[in-house]
Amino acid sequence: MILNRSMMPRASVEETEIPWEQVSGWLQKVFSGEEAMEASRSNAERLSPVAAAHRILTNSFGLIPFGLYRKDGDARVPAEDNFLQKVLKERANEYMSPFMMRKIVMSNAFWWGFGAVWNRKDAAGHVIARIPLPTGCCTIRKDTATGTYWYDYSVDGFYKSFNNSELSFLYFETYDGIRGRGMLDLAREAISADAMAQRYNKKFYQNGARLSGVVEVDTDANKDTRDRLKKEFRAYATDDAFAVAVIDHGMKFTPLGIKQSDAQFIESRGFTVEEISRFSGIPKHMLQTGKESYNSNSQQRLNYVTDTLLPYVVQWENEDSYKLPDPSLRKDGVYVHGNVEALLRADPTTRADFYVKLIEHSVMCPDDARAKEELNPIPGGLGKAFLVTKNLGSLESVLKGETTNG
């Protein structure tokens, strides 16, 4: 009868499913005495691998020079538009350089999933300023009547709505082309785990690198003895790091918790670096870790530029090529191009070998190579001739059947 009654549902009790996040936070509070770490930007930017990834990616994107070009047959020549050239190369707006504007845009994308720039125009339709907007102050809404997405920004009492055509977007990651997913979302667990490990490390040393524990005695201890031991060990725990605890004969101290050398503490933090490396696409050696050789590091850096950074550059080129030039300029083949070669400069020997191969196969002329090294052209226009591997004669002479004496 008692079992039957205990198994019967009680009408006065409402069953509610408790989210795991709530249970996890409660367990964290029980075992550590503190709330679980939140993967907020203020917490994340205090973690060295996350801060390094943010610094590298934002600086890399800021360093890439973007310019306005026009297609002239098969050639690419600089386009003439004083307004666009100014915001692309001189000043993005009254307060910042193009480098700083791009760095801020990538920073917003890194943390929040996307960064946006307001391409501010004058009455004649010329872009006169490019102003990065804080993603954390943005609300995205959709006009159900027209299907248009609006981006509402509220910053320090200033409120303004933009449609898609007024902004240039850079996404860290997106699944619909509207909303982005940034590091705080994608790497939330890794950031929280490393923040907790760093906090444990801090408390470990604040406690003089001593662990809590249990004192065992051979016989039953009375209350006075237990209180005296607690008082003595509490004084030991709060004294300087070189304090010595003394226990009586027949007593044994058993530490509770883990040492930093246990549970592969150092390796666990190294795993966090690997996680941040995977999420950001930045090689481990650039996050100040790893034992790869110099050649391996060089290859990884090349992979970083081509596999991680280049997609952001192409994305930004596509956005600006469509939204910066007016329709008449776009019709004439005007577009925005970013030069990633600024980040691919190797050591002098490697660059020399690289240029020799390109010149020998007529990929570039000597003057092209000199221009990349910021050197003046060869006098008399001699450096404009393309060379081929046959005695390094000019392409024209080889086609005419002429030979050169080596």
Among the ranges given (27-31, 78-82, 91-95, 309-313), the one the predictor scored with the smallest mean pLDDT: 27-31
Identify whether residues 229 and 371 lie together within a single domain: no
Identify whether residues 92 and 221 lie together within a single domain: no
Check residues 159 and 246 and name the one with the higher pLDDT.
Answer: 159
> What's the average model confidence in pLDDT over 114-137?
94
> What's the average model confidence in pLDDT over 319-332?
92
What is the rounded distance in angstroms from the CA atom of residue 153 to the CA atom of residue 266?
A: 43
Among the ranges given (59-63, 320-324, 337-341), the one the predictor scored with the smallest mean pLDDT: 337-341
Type and span of the H or E element at 104: helix 98-112
- Does 157 map to a domain? yes
Among the ranges given (257-261, 352-356, 365-369), the one the predictor scored with the smallest mean pLDDT: 257-261
Identify whether residues 180 and 133 lie together within a single domain: yes
What is the rounded distance in angstroms from the CA atom of residue 63 to the CA atom of residue 91?
A: 14
pLDDT at 75 over 50: yes
Residue 70 near residue 78 (C-beta atoms within 8 A): yes
Q: Compute and round to an integer the Cα radius of gyration of the chain.
A: 32
Helix axes 98-112, 310-323, angle to 10 degrees: 110
What is the rounded distance in angstroms from the CA atom of residue 349 to the CA atom of residue 366?
A: 17
> What's the average model confidence in pLDDT over 355-360?
86
Q: Is 127 helix (H, G, I), strand (E, B) or coil?
A: strand
Q: Range of 227's domain? A: 212-256
> What's the average model confidence in pLDDT over 211-239?
66
Residue 45 near residue 51 (C-beta atoms within 8 A): yes
Task: Decide which of 298, 315, 344 is a domain's last residue.
Answer: 344
The band of 13, judged by pLDDT with boundaries at 50, 70 and 90, is very low
- Does 127 map to a domain? yes
What is the rounded distance in angstroms from the CA atom of residue 108 to the CA atom of residue 184?
A: 11
State the pLDDT at residue 2.
35
The band of 6, judged by pLDDT with boundaries at 50, 70 and 90, is very low
- Does 285 map to a domain? yes
State the pLDDT at residue 116.
97
Identify whether residues 81 and 228 lie together within a single domain: no
Average pLDDT, the chain: 77
Identify whether residues 134 and 70 lie together within a single domain: yes
Among the ranges given (33-37, 282-286, 353-357, 402-406), the one the predictor scored with the smallest mean pLDDT: 33-37
Identify whether residues 246 and 272 lie together within a single domain: no
Check residues 196 and 338 and name the one with the higher pLDDT.
Answer: 338
- Does 320 map to a domain? yes
State the pLDDT at residue 285.
84
Task: Decide which of 190, 222, 256 is a domain's last residue.
Answer: 256
pLDDT at 66 over 80: yes
Structural domain count, the chain? 3
State the pLDDT at residue 102.
97
Q: Is 242 helix (H, G, I), strand (E, B) or coil?
A: coil
pLDDT winner (highest mean) among 5-19, 166-180, 255-269, 294-308: 166-180
The band of 375, judged by pLDDT with boundaries at 50, 70 and 90, is confident
- Does 244 map to a domain? yes
The band of 121, judged by pLDDT with boundaries at 50, 70 and 90, is very high
pLDDT at 12 over 60: no
State the pLDDT at residue 145.
92
State the pLDDT at residue 119.
96
- Does 2 map to a domain? no
In the chain, the percentage of residues whose pLDDT exceeds 90 is: 33
Phi, psi of 379 (to 5 degrees): -55, 145
